[in-house]
Amino acid sequence: MPEAPRHVPLCIPNLDAAELEAVADVLKSGWLAHGPMNHEFEAKFAAFLELPHAVCMNSCTSALFLSLVAQGIKGEVIVPSFTFVASANAIVTAGATPVFADVEYETGNLDPAAVEAAITPRTEALMAVHYAGHVADMRRIGEIAARHKLLLIEDSAEAIGAAQDGVRTGGWGTGCFSFFPTKNLTTGEGGMLTTRDAALAAKVRALVGHGIESTTLAREKKERPWLRAATFAGYNFRLSNVLAALGAKQMDKLAGMNAARRAHAKRYDAALDREWFDLPVERPGCTHVYQMYVVKTRGLDRTKFLAKLKQTGIGASVHFDPPVHTQPYYAEAKHPRGGLSVTERLSASCVTLSMYPQMTEADVQYVAEQANRAAPECRE
């Protein structure tokens, strides 16, 4: 009887007794809305990035949206099309215009030359999206932003802990992070905005909670805690105390989880057949945290290849196809863009393999062996 295939999912959140206990403590406390654990989570996150301000909220999309709204951006924002649609959606819903620029083949990140070419007199901001755990070239992109006096926003949803020249993502501009279950750190749903600007942090904190500059927790200590006055027309983007408790505990494990991802990536690098796959790179001076391990297939029928992996119990997927500029809303709106040939090449060839900290060496070896075996059977 043939051996049953091993089951290796695409990803699994790394949760254990510490998170369960923290959530139970919050539930027992009765303080379920924004509360003490939010402050602990924010403090740990800011310390990890060596930044003065971190503001937690319900999603990275909200952080991206508020990074634009709070800083009055209404003109053009340069952004890659090779990203999740939330990056562009945040620009549109904030009342600005996305301008799609091409990316580098090796990293999937914004090509600084394409950024420079996309700048017009209407450009107000650059939104760098750090793809799959590798930091964009923030030295060059930051220099371009400074030279043209443009706001710099980092969509760091996939790159918590990634760095260039020792500066972690979120430390170059206004940082926006995601805590979705597929990310390096999870709260289920959640996000964080980071900044060096105290005034921006205070404004964002107010916008997250209906435009009121004090939180419920802070007002508890006042003589008249019921007094609430909106300084801005804000939103309800708050993260609950329950989910913040998850985040605070995940922060204690983040360095170890990222180290495990990096170790798995090295094993993949050694085991995968480069005849069929272009593998991820880690540029000199950069630290890759492998939120995803993405290969580019060479001469394969990708749909057939993914089906073969599924048959062997492997949870592989594609990130990102279709690219944003071809999706119905953006294609019909005809948003400005330059040549996007690399974006389209990547979208047509990329495959995301299983990646999560709890993988074993045997899991990684099994995925690599099955990928190597399936590839010759899936030639175009």
Residue 54's φ and ψ, nearest 5 degrees, are: -140, 130
Q: Give the pairing of strands 191-195 and 293-297.
A: unpaired
The answer to whether 183 is a known catalytic residue is yes
Residue listed under structure tokens 């953006």: 330
Q: Would you say 140 and 130 are in contact if contact means Cβ atoms under 8 Å apart? A: no
Which of 28, 44, 74, 183 does the annotation list as catalytic? 183
- DSSP 8-state code for residue 298: S
Which helix H or strand E contains 152, and what residues bound it? strand 151-155
Please choose, from the candidates 160, 161, 156, the residue with its C-alpha nearest in 3D space to the C-alpha of residue 136: 156
CA distance 252 to 51: 17
CA distance 177 to 10: 21
CA distance 127 to 96: 12
Distances (CA, A) of 277 to 108, 261, 294, 309, 376: 15, 19, 10, 15, 11
Please choose, from the candidates 260, 287, 280, the residue with its C-alpha nearest in 3D space to the C-alpha of residue 356: 260
Active-site residue list: 183
